[in-house]
Chains A and B, each alone.
Chain A
Amino acid sequence: MSVSQSLFIRNGRIVDPSQKLDQVTDLWVRNGKIEAVGKNFSLPSEVHVQEIDATGLIVTPGWIDIHTHLREPGGTHKETIETGSRAAAAGGFTSIACMANTQPVNDSSYITTYIKQRVAAESPVNVFPIGAVTKGLKGEELAEIGSMREAGIVAISDDGKTVMNAYLFRKALDYSRRFDLVVISHAEDLNLKGLGVMNEGYHSARFGLRGIPKAAEEVIIARDIYLAELTGARLHIAHVSTAGSVALIREAKRRGLQVTAEVTPHHLTLTDEAVGSYDTNTKVAPPLREMEDIEALQEAVADGIIDALASDHAPHSREDKEVEYDQAEFGMVGLETAFPLYYSKVLKNHWDLSKLVAAMTIQPAKIIGVKKGTLSPGSDADISIFDPKKTWTVDKNQFRSKSQNTPFHGWELQGKPIYTIVAGQVVYSEVKK
């Protein structure tokens, strides 16, 4: 940057759990980095200053979503790196991590490099690729994890599919230590899941749909926790959906293991009763569970047992979704509704704001090992600013994402991202010029 640039965010409520900060004050950004937080600050007169009046708004470190699917390469009719990252910016996210289940799979440094190049050309936000654990996600041979690490991956995962071979998963955990990578587990025993399409319980009995028992998730989480203990590796559990899983993770943390976990907006807000409409946008893996699970998940975030909130943004085209329920693809989009769902449906009764912000900033940053998620001086000026009062109605036709597969269309939500700032640049703004 040849010309010295500065951004002045005035009079916002700054909430930064990494510094235990919650006060109404000013924030200075200079040359893409955080310069200072506080009042009575003066800048050298030569710099060009852009100003944002954040009165009544809440200013936090940029939000990080460590679980998204951008579908590029191979699935660009559903999403691209450009549309997915624009959806992220509109949803208030400054950093996202994208899963490896593209076509071809991100299982080599070539694909990682390709994704990085596309990101550099197209994306307004930071995008961190996640590499595959096994070649082609087939669960047979390890992917070239080290080479992908050198090319820029931040984690490995066969997300979408469980590595059913425990021996191979153990080797992946062992190997990951050499490259300081976290291994993300998609925990669903494929045999127990079978042809299931929703949670196994009273409602699957009612709706005549094949069920997926909670134990399908819990047996794999239990297995993976034992393997993390065996290997000393870092294990992260994706999209935890059951109270039983929470209990397993709670116990693993109590024993001091390096185990972290995430939960999605939909598993915090919807039960399997929603499947009764046969709206295929409610079909997701793992499936929507029951109220007792929602309560356990909300409590687990409040207790710090679940470290991160993650959208599992999974775009699918209308062709994939406007079909019979048991034929439809699993997954829903989430980037543009995630934060308002947390804010209006969970926060008020269960969490304090600093918990919510920590689970979207410093905690996910630590899981994938990136120096993000803080407004401490000198750090990257990734900032999310939202209006806590603004109410709005979800309209899937307004999404930046290329896909509209959401069960939340028409929901009244409160809290809306107003500015998304990446490296000091405003990449998304709700404010009309």
Chain B
Amino acid sequence: MNPAAHPTGNALHLKSLLGTESLKTEQIQILISTALAFKDRWDQQEPIPPTLAGKSVVMLFFEASTRTRSSFELAVQRLGGNPLVLTKSGSSTEKGETLLDTAKNIEAMDPDLLVLRHPSAGTPFLLDKTLSLPIVNAGDGFHEHPTQALLDLMTIFERRKRIQGIRVLIVGDIAHSRVARSDIYALQAMGAEVSVCGPPTLLPPKVEKMGVTLFHHLEQAVENQDVVMMLRIQHERFSSGQSPSKGEYARFYGMNQRILEMCSSDVLIMHPGPVNRGVELSTEVADSSRSVILNQVANGVFLRIAVMHLLLGGEPFSWKESVR
């Protein structure tokens, strides 16, 4: 495809992937179908197009990450590119350099793409105003984590062959979850029905204005859901008055065999990782046939391949079944 055919030089009509809130249905469809097509090729041992050959991707990770970071790094390599990973420790940030200066310095070295993980909400949006470099948001504070949401949708589509009309429940610390926000927006754009469940202390204010159904009781919430997505609970919530203890959290909001039996028999259990076994998810459920947690991780690489491929002007791929 001729990049000039698109105003932004790519099929997504996007300079950067900052969040899912502003994504349109068609953009999500292109991303997921391209990711599924790449996964197909990989499984058939067909080549992935070397969109990043001779190109470099800077991955600026100001927050600890194992899954997302390695997923992006592998995705860059599979596209034939060179990843350069910079973390906060040992960087010029520790010497007092501002984020904006760090980013401008990176841009001066002329990489082709920037992947940013940062603990402060909005940072990729701020950088996107200043830099001409395309940016992929790999998680900003409690705000957005678009590639995680898209890989979640990819996983749901793979199993259910549709997203339209699918009922998805997100459980746990919605207030501090960028995954929840990105999932809510992306799922709604694709026509899914989203509910959230958690203690009132861990739900964002006026979350129902996002068009989700609100539950405080897990037993009621899981009924007739196609997908139940468990979120990680951070240990600091227990020391800051947001939940009394791990034990009490697990008792009211943990997914275990008892709760699983209240779910539809073909429910998909998802988790963005890393899992606190025995807190939000019991070991028996995490390792059960209903869990698609490792499929999410596997899909993450292909989804990120698709994102970078498309942002840098690669052709969209349609999958054999149309994504909706």
Residues of A that sit less than 8 Å from B by CB: 200-202, 204-211, 213, 277-278, 319, 322-327
Contacts and interface: CB of A to CB of B under 8 A. Distances in A.
A163 B125 CA distance: 36
Interface string B114-142: 00001011110110000000000000111
B120 A327 contact: yes
Contacts of B142: 208-210
A323 B118 CA distance: 12
A201 B205 contact: yes
Interface string B134-171: 00000011111000000000000000000000000000
B206 A202 contact: yes
A280 B92 CA distance: 23
A325 B205 contact: no
Given A202-B209, A324-B122, A325-B120, A208 B98 contact: no
Interface string B204-240: 1111011000000000000000000000000000000
Interface string B165-202: 00000000001001001000000000000000000000
A206 B20 CA distance: 11
Contacts of B204: 204-205
Given A208-B141, A208-B181, A326 B206 contact: no
A278 B205 contact: no
Nearest to A213: B205
Contact of B122 (A200, A205, A319, A325): A325
Interface residues of B, number: 25
Given A201-B205, A205-B181, A210-B142, 15 more contacts: A200-B205, A205-B210, A208-B178, A209-B122, A209-B142, A209-B143, A277-B125, A278-B122, A319-B98, A323-B98, A323-B100, A324-B122, A324-B123, A325-B121, A326-B141
A201 B206 CA distance: 6
Contact of B120 (A204, A205, A211, A324): A324
B21 interface: yes
17 contacts: A200-B205, A202-B206, A202-B209, A205-B181, A205-B205, A205-B207, A205-B210, A208-B122, A208-B181, A278-B125, A323-B99, A324-B99, A325-B120, A325-B121, A325-B122, A325-B123, A325-B126
Nearest to B121: A208
Given A207-B121, A207-B143, A208-B178, A322 B100 contact: yes
